[in-house]
Homo-oligomer: A and B are copies of this chain.
Amino acid sequence: MECVPNVSEGRNCQTITELASVLQTTPGISLLDSSSDIDHNRAVFTYVGEPEAMLAGTEAFCRRAFDLIDMTTHTGGHPRLGAVDVVPFVPLRGVEMAEAVDFAHRLGRAVGEMGVPVYFYEEAALSPQRRDLTDVRRGEYESLPSRLAEPSGRPDAGPATFNPRSGACIIGARRPLIAFNVNLGTTDLDVAQRIARTVRYSNGGFRAVKAMGVELKELGVVQVSMNLTDYTQTPIHRVVEAIRSEAARYGVPVVGSELVGLTPLEALDGVVRYYLQLHEFSSAKIIESHLL
């Protein structure tokens, strides 16, 4: 099992280090990666482990994050509902989705008992309206007081009362997702937003792409920030080439891209096949995939 919590703190190194150390000191868990971003003001942790250790470690992680992160002063380019914004469980080799869903629900009850409202999303959603993360996060942290007061905004676990310090927490189970961002050589946020609309599903773009335009003030560029929710349907290279082509119409170059967190090897198959015209390539051609 893999777990990839996103927290609303990407600037305070000490907080990020303390959260990482909660995971590093939990027996039975391996922290594989932690990435943080100053502009997004957000950090992502990726870890794997034995099922029960994952649950204990993630509970401890959430408790510590609620201690350390204060949403009342949080700003950043990325939409968020709370201090521990999203916690997805991802079944890896040989684990069933049903088990990941069960974990999400168990963690949700524990987080609810910490006094934080919880929404379940994607495979762990209890209603179709809450399947999509974008819908669940609409209105962001700032909308929580009014939302929690309405029946349609009632949390799936925890109190239906606004927690100003921690906001709300979105917990779920999903297939592996690629958090992939493409940077454009302009400071014009409008260009990134237009391009985001052309590639994302919600506006007629690719089926497995969620995208938004974000300004990266630190770097003096704008970014098309994406989640590729199913790389078997919509592969990375197709999205990059579409962005390159759309950017060219504004005379804007692609200046770089980034993967946030970890990616399954299989997601690179399409990249290699397309650019090298290596039609028969698959992960089976990689020595390491045979040594697992």
Contacts and interface: CB of A to CB of B under 8 A. Distances in A.
Interface of A: 2, 30, 32-33, 46, 48, 92, 176, 236-237, 240, 254-259, 262-265, 268, 271-272, 275-281, 284-292
Contacts of A259: 278, 281, 285
A203 to B, nearest CB: 23
Contacts of A290: 30, 32-33, 48, 262
A268 B277 contact: no
Contacts of A280: 258
A264 B287 contact: yes
Given A265-B265, A272-B268, A257 B277 contact: yes
B255 A277 contact: yes
Main secondary structure, interface of A, reads mixed
11 contacts: A48-B287, A240-B275, A255-B277, A256-B279, A257-B279, A258-B279, A265-B265, A271-B272, A271-B275, A288-B288, A288-B289
A5 to B, nearest CB: 16
Contacts of A279: 256-258
A181 B82 CA distance: 52
B256 A277 contact: yes
B291 A48 contact: yes
Contacts of A264: 286-288
Nearest to A283: B288
A263 B276 contact: no
Contacts of A289: 265, 288
A46 B288 CA distance: 13
Contacts of A265: 265, 286-289
A276 B236 CA distance: 9
A291 B93 CA distance: 11
A145 to B, nearest CB: 39
Contacts of A256: 277-279
Nearest to A289: B288
Given A30-B290, A176-B287, A264-B288, 11 more contacts: A32-B287, A46-B287, A240-B275, A257-B276, A257-B277, A257-B278, A258-B280, A259-B281, A263-B286, A265-B289, A271-B272
